[in-house]
Structure 1
Amino acid sequence: MAGSKNLAEDPYERLANAIVLQAVADYRVALKKIKAHPKNREAISEALEIEKFFRSGWYSQLTDVDGEYLIRRLQDEIRQSESIRGKKNKSNRR
């Protein structure tokens, strides 16, 4: 079956996934920096630039994942990971 090539093997699909995954990783780093230092202009600028990408037509061509949904999920993830880490550290002190 020559026409039933797995999409995961398609180099263009892999490239599109890699671009999105790199943006996700970069956004997480920026959010963590903002969490630690809320006035960090460089991190804020980076996060805003990546959010602009997540809302762009190019992003929509790369993936079917809604950009607004992804932004909210990543922001929630960073908020929760920080609060969970704090709870673990407090319980380890006992």
Structure 2
Amino acid sequence: MNPYEELANAIVVLAAKDYRRAIKQLKRNSKYTPAQQQKSEVERFFRSDWCRELTSVDGEFLIEKSQQEV
């Protein structure tokens, strides 16, 4: 794997971690604004053209899978 692929994968993995963290925080407090914002931002990223450039994995799949894991 070349360095650019590694960077792309790291970006997507970090976004998934951030998304799971936000979901966990929202389960504890559904009105926690920073977690709501983080969740929205990551969902927007997963649905973006940029995410499609970084990975061949469908963004909706990443969202669903992350929600199931939490």
TM-score interval w.r.t. the shorter chain?
Answer: over 0.9
String of CA shifts for 1:16-64, please: whole Å, max 9, x gaps: 0011011011111111100111111110111000000000000000000
Q: Which amino acid aligns with 1:18?
A: A
Structure 2 CA distance for aligned equivalents of residues 58 and 33 of structure 1: 26
Structure 2 CA distance for aligned equivalents of residues 15 and 76 of structure 1: 25
Matched pairs, number: 70
Structure 2 CA distance for aligned equivalents of residues 15 and 43 of structure 1: 25
Unaligned segments of structure 1, at least 5 residues: 1-7, 79-94
For the aligned residues, what is the CA RMSD? 0.7
Unaligned segments of structure 2, at least 5 residues: none
CA radius of gyration, larger in: 1
Query: Does 2:15 correspond to 1:23?
Result: yes
Structure-2-length-normalised TM-score: 0.95
Structure 2 CA distance for aligned equivalents of residues 22 and 52 of structure 1: 14
Q: In the alignment, which of 34, 47, 53 is matched to residue 42 of structure 1?
A: 34
Alignment partner, residue 83 of structure 1: none
Alignment partner, residue 59 of structure 1: 51
Percent sequence identity is 50
Larger RCO: 1 or 2 (CA < 8 Å, sep 6+): 2
